[in-house]
Amino acid sequence: MIRVLFLKEIREAFTSRRFWIVLALCLVLIPLGVQVSLKDYQTRLQNYREAVRIYQEETKTASDILYREGGKAFAPPSPLNFLSLGLALVNPNIAETQYRNGEPPAVMRLSNNQGLDNLYEYFYGALDLVFIVAVVMSLLAVSLTFGAIAGEKENGTLKQILSYAVPRPQIVLAKALANGLVLVVPFLLSLGLSLAILGAGGGASAAAPGAGVSIGLAILASVLLIGVFLNLSLLVSTLTKQAVQALVVLLLAWVFLYGIYPRLSAAAAQIISPVKSEARVALDKAQLRRAVNKERDAEIDALVQASPDKMTQTDMDDMGKKQEAILDRYQGKLEESWKSLEADVAERQRVRGALAADIARLSPVSAFVRPLAELSRNGTLEYRQFDTGIRRFEETLNREIFNKNKFIRMKGGAAQLGGMDLGVAAPVFTYTPAATDAMVRNVLPDLVILVLFNVLFFAGAFVAFLRYDPR
């Protein structure tokens, strides 16, 4: 009987206009979004390579770093932008040293010089897989399934079917499978075509670290989210008596799950666990530098004032060693203060991010959007990876260049301390993306949550239909 019911639903679904509408939308939107993302990636990649080339030509030695360009580091664009633009427009992609001559250590300031070529896109966002699935496919799931049960109740056909003693579980299962195929088949066909376009465009996505895993998990997450809204529609359709009533309830639910709740979760996390802004952290660092420098200068002034008016070379060498020891001690104190401040802010950011993600996961849309950003390597995981690499590069620059550039004071003026070979090769930053296994561990809880939403909504529809009284 299940086979007969399933074939009936499939025949009705695939011969109706709705299947061809879904297919047409998918065949237009998905390849178009991929093509636009591919062009955007190629432009960003060219800009990245040109920036790296110019910087490397201008900074071949330590002298160039110290006196000309400063230290810089660049992060390449992600070739998986077609999955999700994510935080690409706000995540840092460049870091530059902020340094006051003679006052180490230098600090690398993270920034972002990316943007959209078409400013109109800022109003509505990118045409990536996140938008297509979270908005277009979810609304299609609602619009195609809201009348699956309620419509037949309203028309009286459901009572007629049940009068033939057709097993109720088979009716629900047949409707779920048929409607799922109507949505998933066009989506997968269009996605396959889009991946072929990517391959023909140079295969940049395949060259990305863990690209196959990212794309596979993104497809799985997309199918799961489509299933969530399909099963939710089936549940509401089972609980309501009229198709219009089911549609209104589902549209309100969609607005809340997509547009309202995720924003409320971010606001709640900010209130519960506030974190200093980057501008505030920069001000705190400047205040710490001023306080430490004030103590240092006072100690050096006392040392200089206590020195004889006429100094021999031995006296000057001894003065230099004493001042260098003072400079090293206070520099270490400053660095420790900064590290403590940065560690505290990083921990608070981690806690707030985890809290926001946990609250937001009560919406299936949030359990889809955030993982897609991580899978496209445009999420918080990649931000932390870049920041960690920059801090290591910052330590290298300070250890090999900036910390060696110090000045001592005498009663007659100041002199620069030596100890640095300005002709040595400048340190080079190498970007290492986040490990694939770390990315998988990051998104796995959200995939499990999407599975649970599917099970919960389908089980609800199943139980409600079994308890339905057609009289």
Span 62-108, pLDDT tens digits: 888 888 888 999 999 998 988 998 888 888 899 999 887 777 888 88
**pLDDT higher than threshold 70 for residue 119:** no
pLDDT of residue 68: 82
Q: What is the largest CA-CA distance in the chain?
A: 115
Instruction: Give domain status of residue 289, yes or no.
Output: no
Q: Among residues of the chain, what percentage have pLDDT more than 70?
A: 91
Instruction: Give domain status of residue 145, yes or no.
Output: yes
Is the model more confident about 302 or about 161?
Answer: 302
- The predicted model gives 251-273 an average pLDDT of 89
Asked whether the bond before 76 is cis by omega within 30 degrees of 0, the reply is no
Instruction: Let me know how many helices (H) and strands (E) the chain has, helices first.
Output: 18, 5
Report the mean per-residue pLDDT for the chain.
85
- pLDDT bin (cut points 50, 70, 90) of residue 2 is low
Q: Provide the token pair at 99.
A: 């340094």
pLDDT of residue 120: 67
Instruction: Give domain status of residue 7, yes or no.
Output: yes
Element at 339 (helix H, strand E): helix 313-360
Instruction: Give domain status of residue 186, yes or no.
Output: yes
| 111: nearest Cα among 124, 100, 98, 125 | 98
Q: Among residues of the chain, what percentage have pLDDT more than 90?
A: 31
pLDDT of residue 206: 55
Task: Report the distance separating Cα 370 and Cα 442, nearest Å.
Answer: 10
- The predicted model gives 285-295 an average pLDDT of 89
What CA–CA distances, in Å, run from 94 to 27, 261, 311, 365? Answer: 37, 33, 48, 31
Q: Which residues contact 122 (CB under 8 A, 6 or more apart)?
A: 116
Q: Which domain holds residue 266?
A: 1-272+361-471
Q: Are the C-beta atoms of residues 326 and 249 closer than 8 Å to each other? A: no
Nearest 5°: CA angle at 339, between 333 and 340?
90
Task: Report the distance separating Cα 104 and Cα 125, nearest Å.
Answer: 42
Instruction: Give domain status of residue 311, yes or no.
Output: no
Instruction: Give domain status of residue 423, yes or no.
Output: yes
Helix/strand/coil (H/E/C) assignment for every residue in 434-451: CCHHHHHHHHHHHHHHHH
pLDDT of residue 450: 96
The pLDDT tens digits of the residues spanning 11-38 come to 776 677 777 888 888 888 899 888 888 8
**pLDDT higher than threshold 60 for residue 280:** yes
**pLDDT higher than threshold 80 for residue 57:** yes
3-state secondary structure of 73: strand
Structural domains counted in the chain: 1
pLDDT of residue 174: 83
* 2-16, 176-190, 206-220, 308-322: segment of lowest average pLDDT: 2-16
- The predicted model gives 106-119 an average pLDDT of 78
Task: Report the distance separating Cα 427 and Cα 266, nearest Å.
Answer: 39
Q: Which residues contact 311 (CB under 8 A, 6 or more apart)?
A: 319, 410
Instruction: Give domain status of residue 306, yes or no.
Output: no
Beta bridge partners of 425: 61
* 23-37, 131-145, 413-427: segment of lowest average pLDDT: 413-427
- The predicted model gives 391-407 an average pLDDT of 86
**pLDDT higher than threshold 90 for residue 458:** yes
Q: Which residues contact 450 (CB under 8 A, 6 or more apart)?
A: 221, 224, 225, 227, 228, 364, 367, 368
pLDDT of residue 205: 58
For 317, phi then psi, to 5°, come to: -65, -40
Instruction: Give domain status of residue 464, yes or no.
Output: yes
pLDDT of residue 418: 56
